[in-house]
Amino acid sequence: MAQAPIYERVALIGLGLIASSMFWAMKRGGLAGEVRGFARSAETRAAAREIGLCDVVCDTAVEAVADADLVVLCVPVGVMAAVAAEIAPVLKPGATVSDVGSVKRAVIESVGPNIPPGVNFVPAHPLAGTEQSGPRSGFAELFDNRWCLLVPVENSDPEAVSRLEALWRGMGSNVERMDADHHDLVLAVTSHTPHLIAYTMVGVADDLQRVTDSEVVKYSAAGFRDFTRIAASDPTMWRDVFLTNKEATLEILGRFTEELFALQRAIRLGDGEHLFEYFTRTRAVRRGIVEAGQDTDAPDFGRTGKPR
């Protein structure tokens, strides 16, 4: 017997990697009766219609959210407040508004005031992705065995939070609830600062005139290839992440700089013991990630995902 949908009508605002993967995952699990989608770009809407992404692709955000039980903001953090203000007048009483942004405190402060009384606001962040973007990049398995962090706001309706949690679990995610400020600090360590470092390293290679562009491409070792994979991520999204999670990112970047100076000193002084102990400790972190099922030890740098 088929499972009853968790939500009768879902609206996805923004139709990139996360939204498209949510659609395919919801359809795979029978988690939503109807999924409507909207994207600002007419080209994106046309591509979504071509590949059957969403049951209905709407030409306005207002049309997409009308009578929706769940609205998910899948747009860059920097424009979420404007989108929330646009759709607020037509949100269905009792509906839930969520998001998939990589920053949570800024989203709560900018989107929250636009959510009308009687509508639930439950921010979320799926820790899953690839360097691909756009409506054709999504696939149902993206969230399988990955974590989704829910960040309920003050006075969040427990039933609305539990219902959203059930949706993410149905799409394959492990789910945990977390405070907004702690979320932003954790993500500064695990995602935001590593992305900034990757962008910087690729920029250094691009600026170093003694190494030609052809040599960078031709002789890229596994480590640099993975840097380029990360640095290929959506520029708009990551610009907004760094501007809206400024304090936590700068704190972790400062710690990184201190560690880097210590390693520079060890190399300069020939302190092999310090280097060996440091690399042994960091190697154990990598093993822990693999053992937790959050990656594989297979040599497949430059993963491509499963875009449609």
CATH number for the domain that contains residue 265? 1.10.3660.10
Residue 91 confidence (pLDDT): 98
Q: Please report the pLDDT score of residue 230 as a whole number.
A: 74
CA-to-CA distance for 257 and 227, rounded, in angstroms? 18
Do residues 27 and 174 share a domain?
yes
Are both 174 and 237 inside the same structural domain?
no
The CA distances from residue 246 to 8, 29, 87, 149, 179, in Å, are: 38, 37, 28, 20, 17
pTM of the model: 0.80
Q: Judge if 170 and 252 occupy the same domain.
A: no
Residues 41-76: tens digit of each pLDDT: 999 999 999 999 999 999 999 999 999 999 999 999
Low-confidence ranges of the chain (pLDDT < 50): 1, 301-305, 307-308
Q: What is the DSSP letter of 92?
A: P
Q: Is residue 296 part of a domain?
A: no
What is the reported pLDDT for 199? 79
pLDDT at position 243 is 86
pLDDT number for residue 308: 43
CA dihedral 207, 209, 213, 216 (to 10 degrees): -80
Q: Are both 22 and 39 inside the same structural domain?
A: yes
Residue 202: which domain range?
A: 182-291
Residue 17 lies in a domain: yes
Residue type at 207 in one-letter notation = D
> Which of 154, 178, 202 is at the close of a domain?
178
